[in-house]
Amino acid sequence: MIEINQEKCIGCEKCVEDCFPQDIVVKNDKAEPKNVNCIKCGHCIAICPVNAVSITDYDMTEVKEYDAESFAIGSEKLLNFIKFRRAVRQFKDKPVEKNKLEQIIEAGRFTPTGSNRQPVSYIVVQEGLPELTKLALESLDDLGKSYLKNDQNETSLSSYYAKRWSKMYEDYLKNPELPTSLFFKAPNVILVVSDSPIDGGLAASSMELMTQAQGLGMFYSGFFVRAANNSEKIRAFLGLEDDAKKIIACLVIGYPGVEYQRTVPRKKPEISWR
């Protein structure tokens, strides 16, 4: 619920103008919340020049005052930062500190979501990685066999991955202690869970940038996402009881065991100006 300190409020109407759900009005030269259509986005908090607004559902001690030195990032530097990031699959035998994992999740938590629903949650897997690896490779093997049964094209991409998944599972059964090309030697996996692929994907993108900013490496394991969405055993292991919630992204995280020296090229953008 929105609360507006009437003693502080100067009736400037900035919160009214910036309230998309139109849930704030001005009465007697003071802003008043209706608290009918509010989605708790916090725009009223951010825009108020006298810090008169609060939302009772949130921890208001999280609110930070803006100053350019702490918040501003140059556009060229940000673009270079994005260009330089690489998917990392070589990891050092070194644990990642808990506070760094928590900061990565914070980057996801503060990523915008549709209607401010905030329908994204996170699962951190560390000690359970061996069991999760076993379940995921079993699922991929089953999925691969299904692909090969239904796809007679030996050169198709699905056929290639099906054969690769079966080989991964065979190698795992021979020696379960060796790293696999599912999680490699990474000590941590963060799963992004949501009923909204867009909200979950946006959160994962912010988390990826935070991972890089911390000097860590990561890659998105699309293999695991396929395995998880094909396995009730994995969902049970992770405690996912709500069928509406899916694993949107799997971030495999650790200290990089490789150093990259430069950015790489990409195709030219396809842009239509109207």
The residues spanned by each domain of the chain are 2-62, 79-274
The lowest-confidence range among 120-134, 143-157, 226-240 is 143-157
CATH no., domain 2-62 = 3.30.70.20
> Cβ atoms within 10 A of the Cβ of 123, count?
16
Tokens 């396809």 -> residue: 270
Q: What is the DSSP code (8-state) at residue 187?
A: S
Residues 158-177, mean pLDDT to the nearest whole number: 93
Residue 154 pLDDT greater than 70, yes or no: no
Say what percent of the chain tops pLDDT 70: 98
CA distance 63 to 174: 53
| One-letter amino acid for residue 227 of the chain | A
What are the start-end ranges of the H helices in the chain?
14-18, 43-47, 68-71, 75-84, 98-109, 129-150, 157-174, 197-213, 222-228, 232-238
Q: How confident is the model over 55-94, as pLDDT tens digits? A: 999 999 999 999 999 999 999 999 999 999 999 999 999 9
Residue 151 pLDDT greater than 70, yes or no: no
pLDDT at position 159:
87
Cβ proximity of 248 and 193 under 8 Å: yes
Residues 170-199, mean pLDDT to the nearest whole number: 96
pLDDT band at 149 (very low <50, low <70, confident <90, very high): confident
Q: How confident is the model over 250-270, as pLDDT tens digits? A: 999 999 999 999 999 999 999
Residue 158 pLDDT greater than 90, yes or no: no
Q: Count CA within 13 A, CB hemisphere, residue 138.
A: 11
- Show Cβ contacts of residue 19 under 8 Å, excluding neighbours closer than 6 positions: 43, 44
Q: How confident is the model over 212-233, as pLDDT tens digits? A: 999 999 999 999 999 999 999 9
CA distance 208 to 73: 17
Angle among Cα 255, 124, 188 to the nearest 5 degrees reads: 25
pLDDT at position 89:
97
* More confident site: 203 or 145: 203
Residue 152 pLDDT greater than 90, yes or no: no
Q: Which CATH superfamily is domain 79-274 in?
A: NADH Oxidase (3.40.109.10)
Q: Beta partners for 193?
A: 121, 247
Cβ proximity of 229 and 247 under 8 Å: yes
Closest CA relative to residue 218, chosen from 258, 264, 256, 259 = 256
